[in-house]
Structures are given as C-alpha cells and as structure tokens.
Structure 1
Amino acid sequence: MSRFDLHGYGPLLLEGARLTVYVGVCAMALAVLLGLIGMWCKFSPSPLVRFVVDTYTTVVRGVPELVLILLVYYGVPTFIQDVSAHFGRNIYIALDPFTAGVATIGFIYGAFATEVFRGARLAVPKGQIEAARACGMSGPLTFRRILLPQMMRFALPGLGNVWMILIKATALISVIQLPELMRSADIAARNTRKPFTFFFAASLIYLAITIISNIVQHWAERRAARGLRRA
C-alpha cells in the first residue's frame, strides 16, 4: 500500500496535477484571447498598432519564461512600490502565485498564439472576406461569421502545439511556490529523500496529460474538418 500511494505522497501529486491542469487551462484561455487581439492588431491599418504588437511578439518570444515569471512575481510589485514611494505614497502589493503564474504564462504564450492566428487568418481566402463586405457585413460581423470559424480550423494544430508547450512550462511556476505538480514532487522528494521516485512519477503524469491532450486535439481537428472535401 505504501508503494501504491508513493509513501503517502500520492494524493499530493494528484492534487498538484489537478492544479497544473487548472493553471494550464486558465493560461491557455488568456493566451487565446491575447492571440486573437494580437492577430487583429497585426492587420491594423495603423503603423503604431502594428509596431506595438510586433514588439510584443518579438520581445516575449525572445525572453526565457523563467525570467518573465520572476520579473512579474517579484519585480513588478517592488517596482510599483518604489515608484509610489518616490511620489510620497506607501503602497504594498503582493501577487499570489496562482494569479502571477496564470497571467505570466498566458501573456507569454499569447505571443505564440498571435502568430498562430495570423497564419490562420492568411489561410482564409480573401474572396470570402470581400464577398462578406459586398453583402454589407460590418468588420466585427465578418470576423464572427466568416473569419473566426475558418480560422479556428486552420489554427487548431498550432494551438495544440502551444498547449503542449504551455502545460510543460507550468512546471516553472514552482519557483514562486505554487503547489502545482512539480512543486509537489519536489516537496515529496525532499521529505522522503527519494528524488528519482517522485520526479519520475511527475514525468509520467506530465506524459499522461500530453497523451490525453493529443487525443482531444485529434478529435477536435477531425470534428473541425467535417464536411470538407479531401483532395
């Protein structure tokens, strides 16, 4: 029984896995939202808007995730407090690890999702957009009825890859003490002095999440491709 429940720490790892998936889902939702906004800005007629979103995707994709997590969790509150103190005000800010982790991971992978949606937007035939405009559809209506449904079909493989990378990146949040899977495995390994056992168990759980995600992704891609003529 002690082996089955990993020396009493099996439930801790399962709870960490649950939190890992929850963080991943929340961060992915934020990434998709930022990706859609970023894609829209990529095609903006304003050079300033395009410059801002290009800077966002370039900088975020070029800085390590761990650096950004530490910067947001430790650096941002300190920076705000220092600025407020400069103006004679004392403001104390403390980010909880969950909020900081979800916001940072979502912000990072929003840059990747932006490029996925940009490619999906380019894959939609221009003639359909022109036809929608000729029918008198507004920009938002064209996006909702014409662009978005087709974009999602083209974007699904890329978004699936973003999810796979994102769910593994949640392990980095362990450095800010969020009790997700990696943090739980580290606690169990330190208390039992069996690092191989618990880190190997964590790797198997991550693998299981990845396999299930692959199954769901393939199902979603097949469902999105229903009714399409195969070449």
Structure 2
Amino acid sequence: MFELFSYGDAGWGDEILQGLAITVQLAIATLPVGLCIGFLAAFASMSRARPLRFLGFGYTTIMRGLPEILTLFVVYNGAGLLINAALRWWAPEASPIDFSPFAAGVVALGMVFGAFAAEVLRGAFQSLDRGQVEAGRAIGMTGRQIFLRIQLPQVWRFALPGLGNLWINMLKDTALVSVIALDDLMRMTKVAVGVTKQPFTFYLLACLIYWAMCVLSELVLAQMERRANRGIRRA
C-alpha cells in the first residue's frame, strides 16, 4: 500500500503533494479577497445612504443563500464570457482571454467568504462603544486615525473567532474547485482513485490531510486570539 504514495511513476505521492500545494495557494489567495469584500459590504450595510445599505444587505443576503458550487459554476462560466465580450467591444482584434480555474476559484470563494465575513464584521463594529469614537474626535483625531487606532484593533478582537470559523469552512470548500478541472488536492485524489481503483485508501488520505490543515489552522487561530485578547481581564 505504501508504494501507492511513493514518488515517481510508481506512486502518487508527488501528485498528491502538488494538489495540496494548489489547495493551500488557493485558500491563501482567497483570504485577502474575501476580507476586502467583507469590509466593503460591511461598510455599505452600515452606511447612512439608503442605496449603499440596500446594496450591502442585498449582496450578503443573495450570496449567503446560494450554494457555493453554484456560485463557482456561475463565476467560472459567466465571468470568462463577460470579460471576452467586453474585450471584443473594446478591442475587436484582440485574442480571447482564458479565465483560469484558479482565478475562478479565488473569485467565487472570495465572494462567498466576503458575504459571511461582512456580517461578522458588521456585528463587531456594532459592538464597539461609540463613546470611544466621540472621545477620539474630541481630542482632534481624524477619521482615519480613529479607525486605525481605536476601531480596527477592537473589531479584530471581536471578529476573529467568527472569521476563524469562516477560514476553516473556506479551507474545506476549496475541494469544490475540483469540479472545474483545477488540479487541487481533491481532483488529484479522484484521479488517483480512478487509476488505482483504491477509493478507500486515497479518500481516507485526503480526509486526513484536510483534517490536519484544519487542526493546524485552529492552533494558529487560538494563538492569534490569545494575542488579540492580551491585557483583557476575564470576568
């Protein structure tokens, strides 16, 4: 059995590791995209302008109600058509652009992550004491200084547990990109199963790898939470 996981033509060890690398790269690339979308949607939903509030709440409501795999299909098939249609209108002589599965995975998972993160961040912002903001204005701090020095550190502390859960869910959702032919861990596992006819062995290995990544993430998140809550007295 161990020969199945060796390197080279005789085993699948190198293919599995390559798929793992793609999975980790996809998750790391999606995180900042999702956080940016989450902050923008949270700010929009808390805006005093009614159109922005409608846009923010509408985005989070729609995206949280759609299955992740459906969002992935729509982005992968629709975004490429939209980009090429705009390119043909702008430069008819230009050659079509191939929208890669990796980019589609980052965009789709980032949109889903951002919708859920927006609600976490909105709740964190609403948990802040408004008196601190008024105190910052009273001593002459600008809006940017208030956000960076007063609001953001506390929002980070309040939102970190929820964002950590979203990260773990997103890490597992990366397995969905295998359906659009991205050679991630799940797709390489399926290929190995199809060739070797050993489904239990390779699917069990994939389960252990995903579990190990989630456990490692939980350990890192626990350390981040301890650091974010340093100096906070527990009741």
Q: TM-score range by the shorter chain?
A: over 0.9
Q: Which amino acid aligns with 1:177?
A: A
Q: What are the within-5 Å matches in structure 2 for residues 200-219 of structure 1?
A: 200-219=204-223
Match of 2:81 in 1: 78
Q: Which amino acid aligns with 1:49?
A: L
Q: Which runs of 5+ in 2 are unaligned?
A: none
Q: Name which of 187, 196, 217 aligns with 1:192.
A: 196
Match of 1:24 in 2: 27
Q: Name which of 4, 10, 27 aligns with 2:13.
A: 10
Q: Which runs of 5+ in 1 are unaligned?
A: none
Which structure exhibits the higher relative contact order, with contacts defined as CA atoms closer than 8 Å and separated by 6 or more residues? 1
Count of aligned positions: 231
Tell me the C-alpha RMSD between the 2 structures: 2.0
Q: Name which of 125, 128, 134 aligns with 1:130.
A: 134
Q: Name which of 43, 47, 50 aligns with 2:46.
A: 43
SS of the counterpart of 2:3?
coil
Answer yes or no: is 1:66 the counterpart of 2:69. yes
Q: Which amino acid aligns with 1:5?
A: S
Match of 1:55 in 2: 58
Q: In structure 2, what is the Cα distance between the partners aligned to 1:16 and 1:125?
A: 46
1:70 is displaced (CA, Å) by 0.9
Runs (4+) of structure 1 exceeding 6 A deviation are: 83-88
Q: Name which of 151, 163, 171 aligns with 2:155.
A: 151
SS of the counterpart of 1:2?
helix
Q: In structure 1, what is the Cα distance between the partners aligned to 2:199 and 2:211?
A: 18
TM-score (norm 2): 0.91
Q: In structure 2, what is the Cα distance between the partners aligned to 1:30 and 1:84?
A: 24
SS of the counterpart of 2:232?
coil
